[in-house]
Amino acid sequence: MAGQPDRDLAGPGRPPAVTPSPLSRGATPGADRSRDSYLPGHGNGGYKVLHYDLDLDYRVVSNRLAGRAVVTAIAEHPLSRFTLDLGPLQVQDVRVDGRRVKYTHRPDKLQIKPERPLGAGDTFRVDIRYAGKPVPVSGRWGDLGWDELTDGVLVASQPNGSPSWFPCDDQPSAKASFRVAITAPSPYTVLVTGDPVSRRRGAGSTTWVYERSEPTSPYLMSVQIGRYELVELAAGDVVQRAAIPPTLRANAAHDLGRHGEIMTAMQRLFGPYPFREYVVVVADDDLDDPVEAQGMAIFGRNHLDGRRTHERLVAHELAHQWFGNSLTVADWRHIWLNEGFATYAEWLWSGVSGDWPAEALAAQWYQRIAARPRDVIVADPGVDRMFDPLVYKRGALTVHALRKRIGEEPFFAMLRAWVAEHRHATVTTEQFRAHAQRFAREPLDGLFAAWLDSRALPPFPR
């Protein structure tokens, strides 16, 4: 997400530490443990989700959601029980492979006990019916997940808001495919992160169906419901659309007018766009920061002012489709691989568009960082600082330092290979270090140690 790229670099305070859920301690050793070091209370172990099939019915006025989730998974070792992440919605029925089973539901975990233990390698289906008034997950990053707008819904789940609207294995490494069908009142447009499949209009309501065939982390699934007008952003091989409030038509035409050029530039720099469609949603409410989802970015009406003031954020969110969405961090401690690269993409677009070159922006941000306390380790900032502006800007400076060290041609070849070789997979900092070394004539250990592993600020890269 765009996060806080232009805010004060002093960084936020320290909220209370995350305490793992008691249900993450499984009867089967390690069965229910999250693999994420920063948010151990989110995510589960013992199985791998292959596919989510969600059928949802939403009433906008009453904020009432009724859902059926069919989760197809494979057991990684024998399981006498397992858990899914799910917020304070009312669970009405749970079945495993068609058989009604025992379950318990606390505000954050749904614990399920199959009629018979599952064997290692077994593929199984969990059918969950639930309903209630969805509320976002509140915490150190504000309200995340399913959130009511003045007239509609916005879903922005990074990093742990997905359980606010569907049962899931809520950790970034747990990628799966999705089918999502949502029925909502007909005056509203429904957009979901996925390729549109069908739209069926009934008596007063319309059912919208989307499929996401590429492996997708639960936090990157999004639903947007509003009185939107759909417009084409640019022609070309990639479908580029925008969903905007009609009152913002003129501002959107100007502020998003170069979107096709940004897409072309990023494909040249990073390789082919990794999905079939890209949708920009502009909510009819103000938002603090834009946020990306898989094949989608969500902005507030305040981000369109008719002067392209926030075009760098348009570039930032689009870059996340490569860095963050196709290539997704295996653990939240690697968050700089998302935000450092998306921030550097802002700087690259600035140069391509005829504004400040990346070198000048790197020098400017270096001076601003140098004037602040050096209190964040980029490669492992800690859960309290994972969205700190220093992770964004010093992460981008790390990318710039690497570019200066290995040279222009090897650098961009390295980026395109990184994207291609890990397409739709998960990545770590250690993998990136090893990958970059293949394109360098000299060891890079010192460069990465200085920029990623130390609080001290290295000299500006020349």
Return the active site residues: 317, 392
Query: Angle at the Cα of 455 (from 451 to 458), degrees rounded to 5?
Result: 45
State the CB neighbour count (10 A cutoff) for residue 249.
13
d(CA 4, CA 18): 22
Extract the annotated binding site.
316, 320, 339
Smallest Cα–Cα separation from 282: which of 291, 274, 273? 291
Residues 6+ away with beta carbon under 8 Å from 278 = 233, 238, 239, 240, 241, 263, 295, 296, 297, 318, 321
Extract the annotated binding site for Zn(2+).
316, 320, 339
